[in-house]
């Protein structure tokens, strides 16, 4: 039987939790990491009804896109649905795991599902994320350099776009003096030694730091390994918010809105005034994506599809782009299938299913 910890480790290879936004609370919210999973329910939101459904189905894990605890709790008295949901889950030994903005921010995540539904081509991230890349510099005696480099590449360093094994290498002289307690690989005790070394520079995603440093320490021949880690501000084009892509053939605005309404079963689309122009470039973001409107305009998208636009934000379109607010829940609904596919592909020891409850709190009349 798989444990929650094993599930989380697998998720780290798909949607690393370090890719979540700073305000988010993705990860295990209720439960123990060592708990063995009997069965899981997949949902966009965790509510009391979802906990009831888990109880009825003998499931002891709820995998939820939105974290039920978002800004912290000061009491657990049951005075609101959040507290009652948590209490019920704990009383029934049901764990709650949130996979939220880390799933929004990957190439094959929430937004690529929307791209697929709309048959968009050439999709890329709308706002690439910074500060997730780091640089490793280490100094290795020449004859061990290739081996050490290969080990840190194997652990996940040196990938840039479609290239792997990326590094920069310069040869120079390293110096050191070992004291009596040392057991030096080269050189003599109490004598300054000069060794020809290679300075290896490479980059890596921050969440792989531990495994890369472990490989470095294991494969490096020295007793004391010299290395530096730098934080980088570079943006990673494969991680970030929203997506932009193109329709194969441009469509009239209204025809495209009809396609969206049908594909996403939207009760009503809230949109800005139509200009009678053709739609070709489509920007989108599942959930509350209005913060990306400027990015969509900068990329010269013809339309921006998202949820949760407020009245004043519709003015910000400045007649330059069509905003289509298709609803928060509606835009993210295919996320459940995405999570289910991931679980089914990687775990055969527990059953998982999408919740039968529509948790959308918004109804249309
Ligand atoms: Zn959302």
Structural domains of the chain ordered from first start: 4-100+334-354 (3.40.1390.30), 110-126+241-326 (3.40.1390.30), 132-232 (3.30.70.120)
Residue 160: band (very low, low, confident or very high) from pLDDT cuts 50, 70, 90 = confident
CA of 316 to the centre of ligand 1 (A): 22
CA of 240 to the centre of ligand 1 (A): 15
Between 314 and 132, where is the model more confident?
A: 314
CA of 4 to the centre of ligand 1 (A): 23
**Residue 331 host element (H or E):** helix 328-332
pLDDT over 90 at 245, yes or no: yes
Q: Give the integer Cα–Cα distance in Å for 104 and 110.
A: 5
CA of 224 to the centre of ligand 1 (A): 47
CA of 232 to the centre of ligand 1 (A): 29
Average pLDDT over residues 61-85: 96
Q: How far apart are the first and last CA of the chain?
A: 46
User: Which pair of tokens denotes residue 35?
Assistant: 């708990």
pLDDT over 90 at 237, yes or no: no
What integer pLDDT is reported at residue 77 of this predicted model? 97
Which residues, including other chains, have CB under 8 Å from residue 15's CB and lie 6 or more apart? Answer: 99, 102, 103, 105, 106, 109
Q: Give the integer Cα–Cα distance in Å for 284 and 276.
A: 20
Is residue 203 a contact partner of residue 158, using CB atoms and an 8 Å limit? yes
User: Which pair of tokens denotes residue 24?
Assistant: 């988010």
Average pLDDT over residues 357-365: 94
Q: Give the integer Cα–Cα distance in Å for 322 and 275.
A: 8
**Residue 240 host element (H or E):** strand 235-252
Q: Give the integer Cα–Cα distance in Å for 268 and 261.
A: 7
Mean pLDDT over the full length of the chain:
96
User: Which pair of tokens denotes residue 135?
Assistant: 């640089």
CA of 94 to the centre of ligand 1 (A): 22
**Residue 136 host element (H or E):** strand 133-141
pLDDT in tens, 185-215: 999 999 999 999 999 999 999 989 999 999 9
The rounded Cα 14 to chain-centroid distance in angstroms is 8
Residue 130: band (very low, low, confident or very high) from pLDDT cuts 50, 70, 90 = confident
In the chain, pLDDT over 90 holds for what percent of residues? 94
CA of 288 to the centre of ligand 1 (A): 6
Residue 131: band (very low, low, confident or very high) from pLDDT cuts 50, 70, 90 = confident
CA of 208 to the centre of ligand 1 (A): 27
DSSP reduced 3-state for 28: strand
What integer pLDDT is reported at residue 80 of this predicted model? 96
Q: Give the integer Cα–Cα distance in Å for 258 and 254.
A: 6
- Residue owning tokens 């005696």: 141
Angstrom distances, CA of residue 22 to CA of 111, 131, 241, 314: 19, 12, 13, 26
Stated pTM of the model:
0.87
In the chain, pLDDT over 70 holds for what percent of residues? 100
CA of 329 to the centre of ligand 1 (A): 7
Angstrom distances, CA of residue 41 to CA of 62, 68, 97, 146, 273: 5, 15, 10, 47, 40
Nearest 5°: the CA angle 236, 239, 241 is: 120
What integer pLDDT is reported at residue 362 of this predicted model? 95
C-alpha gyration radius of the chain: 25
pLDDT over 90 at 161, yes or no: no
pLDDT in tens, 91-112: 999 999 999 999 999 999 999 9
Residue 59: band (very low, low, confident or very high) from pLDDT cuts 50, 70, 90 = very high
User: Which pair of tokens denotes residue 52?
Assistant: 């009831």
The CA dihedral of 4, 6, 7, 10, to the nearest 10 degrees, is 160
CA of 332 to the centre of ligand 1 (A): 6
CA of 339 to the centre of ligand 1 (A): 14
CA of 70 to the centre of ligand 1 (A): 12
CA of 105 to the centre of ligand 1 (A): 12
pLDDT in tens, 173-184: 999 999 999 999
CA of 99 to the centre of ligand 1 (A): 11
Is residue 136 a contact partner of residue 216, using CB atoms and an 8 Å limit? yes
Strands (E), 253-345: 270-271, 278-288, 303-307, 322-325
CA of 101 to the centre of ligand 1 (A): 8
Burial of 198 from C-beta contacts in 10 A (0-12 / 13-18 / 19+): buried
Residue 162: band (very low, low, confident or very high) from pLDDT cuts 50, 70, 90 = confident
Phi first, then psi, for residue 266 (nearest 5°) are -85, 135
CA of 65 to the centre of ligand 1 (A): 7
CA of 127 to the centre of ligand 1 (A): 17
Closest CA to 31 of 46, 53, 15: 46
CA of 32 to the centre of ligand 1 (A): 25
DSSP reduced 3-state for 139: strand
């Amino acid at each position: 039987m798989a444990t929650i910890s094993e599930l989380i480790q697998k998720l780290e290879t798909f949607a690393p939790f370090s890719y979540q936004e700073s305000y988010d609370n993705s990860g295990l919210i209720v439960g123990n990491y060592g708990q063995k999973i009997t069965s899981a329910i997949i949902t966009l939101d965790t509510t009391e009804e979802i906990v009831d459904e888990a109880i009825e189905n003998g499931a002891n894990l709820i995998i939820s896109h939105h974290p039920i605890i978002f800004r912290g709790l000061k009491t657990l008295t049951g005075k609101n649905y959040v507290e009652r949901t948590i209490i019920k889950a704990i009383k029934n030994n049901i764990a709650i795991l949130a996979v939220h903005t880390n799933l929004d921010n990957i190439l094959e995540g929430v937004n690529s599902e929307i791209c697929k539904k709309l048959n968009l081509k050439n999709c890329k991230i709308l706002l690439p994320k910074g500060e997730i890349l780091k640089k490793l510099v280490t100094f290795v005696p020449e004859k061990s350099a290739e081996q050490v480099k290969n080990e840190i590449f194997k652990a996940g360093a040196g990938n840039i776009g479609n290239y792997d094994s990326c590094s920069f290498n310069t040869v120079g002289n390293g110096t050191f003096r070992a004291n009596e307690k040392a057991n030096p690989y080269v050189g003599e005790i109490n004598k300054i030694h000069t060794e020809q070394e290679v300075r290896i520079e490479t980059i890596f995603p921050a969440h792989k730091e531990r495994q890369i440093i472990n490989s470095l320490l294991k494969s490096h021949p020295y007793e004391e390994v010299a290395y530096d880690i730098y934080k980088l501000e570079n943006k990673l084009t494969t991680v970030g918010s929203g997506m932009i892509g193109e329709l194969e053939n441009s469509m009239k605005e209204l025809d495209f809105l009809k396609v969206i309404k049908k594909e996403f079963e939207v009760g009503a689309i809230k949109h800005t005034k139509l200009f009678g122009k053709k739609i070709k470039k489509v920007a989108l973001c599942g959930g509350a994506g209005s913060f990306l409107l400027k990015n969509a305009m900068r990329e010269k998208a013809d339309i921006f599809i998202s949820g949760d636009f407020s009245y004043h934000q519709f003015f910000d379109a400045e007649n330059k782009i069509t905003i289509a607010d298709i609803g928060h829940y509606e835009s993210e609904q295919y996320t459940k299938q995405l999570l289910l596919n991931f679980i089914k592909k990687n775990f055969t020891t527990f059953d998982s299913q999408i919740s039968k409850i529509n948790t959308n709190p918004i109804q249309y009349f």
